Amino acid sequence: MPHLPTEKEDSRIATLVIRGSTNNIMDDVERAVDDAVNTYKSLTKDQRFLPGGGATEIELAKQLTSFGEVRRRELAFWEWMG
């Protein structure tokens, strides 16, 4: 992460310098940054929020698959021991 110069080390203010070829692009970038900042603020205020876009379901599927593979190996071992 780039270090931006500040007057104080514990400063909570940052300045973003954005360049673009047209005003429309600059407006889009400004909206995107504003959306990102507001999303971050919302997520850090309430820890009950969960990731969207299926991220929770994907992580749950990964964890269940991993658990199932371990259990399958254990079952195969005990069948082999038999």
pLDDT at residue 51 tops 60: yes
68 within some domain: yes
9 within some domain: no
Q: Give tens-digit pLDDT for 12-31.
A: 777 788 888 999 999 999 99
76 within some domain: yes
What is the average pLDDT value for the chain, to the nearest integer? 84
61 within some domain: yes
1 within some domain: no
Higher pLDDT, 54 or 43: 54
7 within some domain: no
Contacts from 45-52 at CB under 8 Å and sequence distance 24+? Answer: none
67 within some domain: yes
4 within some domain: no
Residue-by-residue DSSP string for the chain = -PPPP-SSTT----------SSHHHHHHHHHHHHHHHHHHHHHHH-TT---TTTHHHHHHHHHHHHHHHHHHHHHHHHHHH-
Total domains, the chain: 1
Higher pLDDT, 51 or 65: 65
